[in-house]
Amino acid sequence: MATNLDISPRLIEEARRIGKHRSKKDAVTEALKEYIRSRRQMRILELAGQIDFDPRYDYKQERRRP
C-alpha cells in the first residue's frame, strides 16, 4: 500500500544511515516497529504499583490435577 508522507529528507537520511538501512522504506518500517515496541513497554511500566502481588502465591499448585 503506497502512502505519501511529508517527512524531512534529512531525518529520513539520518535514520537510514544510523540504522544502516538500504532503503528509506526499511528505515521507516524499522522506526515504526521501534516506536510501537517503546510505547508498549511504556504502557507496561504504567502498571507498576497497580497490580496486587502475593509472594506466597504458588502458581504450580494451580496446575496440579486432582
Q: Convert the pLDDT of each residue in 13-65 to its tens digit.
A: 999 999 999 999 999 999 999 999 999 999 999 888 888 888 888 888 878 77
pLDDT score at 48 = 83
pTM, two decimal places = 0.67
pLDDT score at 3 = 86
What's the half-sphere exposure (Cβ side, CA atoms, 13 Å) at 22? Answer: 0
